[in-house]
Amino acid sequence: MIVSQILKSKGTSGVITLTSDASVADAANIMSDKRIGTIVISDDGGATPAGILSERDIVRELGKQGPSCMATVVSEMMTKKLITCNPSDTSDTVLSKMTEGRFRHMPVMDGDTMVGLISIGDAVKARLAELAAERDALTGMVMGH
């Protein structure tokens, strides 16, 4: 399955973004309220990601600095070097990049514009659906259907 198909199956809820001058506490509150694991940081309303902030980033800094890190701005804590994919990439490509980079969320870029966000859960779900379809096709061939 390709990324554009995965994004279509997710619905139209959009990508949650914050500006780079927002506090880490604000980001954590949004993650908690929305039950999400990451927020894309963008200063232009979401078209261009400047970075990404995950639960792991926050927990790592909490362990180093303690609760005072919650008052810092997200631009100080976010991952700035983003690894992205495009709508024509396959779920296997996305899974490989995420596994190699040890991260769970990836912005989807169409040229210079972010068009979505894909999670490792989205990619695994798509891959499992592909495997089930292949299994059903092979079973049908063996059974003569």
pLDDT tens per residue across span 79-112: 999 999 999 999 999 999 999 999 999 999 999 9
In this predicted structure, the answer to whether residue 11 has a pLDDT above a threshold of 80 is no
> Percent of the chain scored above 90 by pLDDT?
74
In this predicted structure, the answer to whether residue 117 has a pLDDT above a threshold of 90 is yes
Mean pLDDT of 6-12: 80
The Cα 29–Cα 98 span in angstroms is 25
In this predicted structure, the answer to whether residue 46 has a pLDDT above a threshold of 90 is no
The pTM assigned to this predicted structure is: 0.85
Element containing residue 51 per DSSP (H, E): strand 51-54
The Cα 30–Cα 3 span in angstroms is 26
Report CA 113 to chain centroid distance, whole Å.
15
Q: Are 38 and 10 in contact (CB under 8 A)?
A: no
Residue 17 in 3-state DSSP? strand
The Cα 39–Cα 6 span in angstroms is 19
Q: Tokens in use for 75?
A: 């631009």
Domain range 3-143, its CATH number among 1.25.40.10, 1.10.579.10, 3.10.580.10, 2.60.120.200? 3.10.580.10
